[in-house]
Amino acid sequence: MSETLTVNLAERSYPIHFHADIAPVVRPEVDALVAAGRKVVIVTDRNLARSQRDAVYAMFGEQPTLVLEPGEETKSLTELGRVLDFLAEQRVDRGGALFAAGGGVIGDLAGFAAASYLRGIAFYQVPTTLLSMVDSSVGGKTGINLKAGKNLVGAFHQPRGVFIGTRLLATLPPREFAAGMAEVIKTGLLGDADLFARLEKNPLTVDSPELAAVIRRCCALKAGVVEADEHETAKEGGRALLNLGHTFGHAIEQVTGYGAYLHGEAVAIGLAAAARLSLKLGHVDASVVTRVETVLAAHALPVKMRAPLPLGPLMAAMARDKKVRAGALRFVVLKSIGNAATQGGVDPALAEESFREVGAI
């Protein structure tokens, strides 16, 4: 696989590079920036620095690197401060560039730091997990978590380029690969029925020959959504559709302290809950719920909570969701496989019932 897809956003447009080995594409970009007198720094996590040491060196050489702890807990105000201090210590000026090499946590955190430092410097995404390749590295959403909720602080800050190398997935733990599949399945559900049907027929693994094509397909769909609604301002539909399953999933993450579930695992349970809510609203029949839960399970993803969680805190967390408008929550619901929509005015009792069916008490 060797090709490029462009995210078309006028002066903020940027390429997504797809290769098996991405180092021969990243290194010339780094070298060109350095040759132009621009300071280049790297933010990554300990897992990548340890498991892909040679690949990291091949991409970045001896450029200054900040290594953070892996995990959702790193998307915090404290760690944001560490990244900003690192940029200042390295004397990065407005011509500098930050490369975020890692999963969605590193991309979101480092991207927000790049958006904030000196009111904005250039940054590049080098996603190294399936989840970050198909979702979080594309679109310019950056941010951190608060105790009150997921991704409540952040900025839209588009990268200058995204570099996707599928060989980096070779050392990804199976649980992390499965978590990434939640976002792939979400993509099929919200806008690509053929992709969903393919996943039903042949569950995807890290060794699947079609993996690279599926990653590109997910990026192309997300790029189209972002191009049409970059800042999520559409009154209906638009970029909010990418949050299918996330309203429920983010609440699960927040209530469990961001440590019990990987993001993709919480999203998987959220997709099951969203399918059940769609059934209760009369948009789909029970067979759709069965299909959603079957394909999630086939990819080693949960469809119910591992241990019961109290309904009250879950609903309270949901009430702080970013999609709340004028105090009213909007949900992303399924109209059919491959067709999603935003919907307000949902009876909270239906959301509560959907939560109970996936493990809330």
Cα distances (angstroms) measured from residue 250 to each of 96, 127, 258: 33, 21, 9
Closest CA to 190 of 339, 341, 333: 339
| Burial (CB count within 10 angstroms: exposed 0-12, middle 13-18, buried 19+), residue 241 | buried
> Annotated catalytic, 239?
yes
What span, in angstroms and rounded, lies between the C-alpha atoms of 343 and 333?
A: 7
Catalytic residue among 222, 280, 322, 330: 222
Residue 88's Cβ-count burial label (10 Å; 0-12, 13-18, 19+) is exposed
- Answer yes or no: 216 catalytic: no
Q: Is 183 a catalytic residue?
A: yes
The one catalytic residue among 11, 62, 119, 235: 119
The letter for the amino acid at 323 is K
The catalytic position among 176, 183, 253, 293 is 183
Q: In whole angstroms, what separates CA 67 from the centre of its chain? A: 20
> Of 239, 276, 283, 330, which one is the catalytic site residue?
239
Angle (CA) 25 26 29, round 5°? 100
Q: Which of 47, 145, 151, 243 is catalytic?
A: 243
Q: Which two tokens stand for residue 320?
A: 């702080």
Q: How far, in Å, CA of 295 to CA of 128, rounded?
A: 24
Q: Which of 157, 217, 263, 330 is catalytic?
A: 263
- Quick one: how far is CA 272 from the chain centroid? 18
Q: What b/e string do you get for 170-184 counting C-beta neighbours within 10 Å, with b at 16 or more?
A: eebeeebbbbbbbbb
Residue tagged active-site, from 75, 246, 276, 323: 246
Using CA atoms, how far apart are residues 195 and 241, in angstroms rounded to an integer?
Answer: 17
19 a catalytic residue:
no
Nearest-angstrom CA–CA distance, 118 and 312 = 41
Is 210 tagged catalytic? no
> Of residues 69, 202, 236, 325, which has the active-site annotation?
236
> Catalytic: which of 17, 250, 280, 299?
250
* Strands 2-7, 339-343: pairing kind: unpaired
Choose the catalytic residue: 141, 186, 280, 330: 141
Cα separation of 231 and 283, whole Å? 28
Closest listed residue to residue 74, CA positions, set 116, 105, 42:
105
Residue 126's closest CA among 271, 32, 251, 17? 17
Whether 72 sits among the annotated catalytic residues: the reply is: no
Coil/strand/helix, residue 162: strand
User: Residue 243 catalytic?
Assistant: yes
Is 232 a catalytic site residue?
Answer: no
Q: Which residues are annotated as catalytic?
A: 119, 141, 183, 222, 236, 239, 243, 246, 250, 263
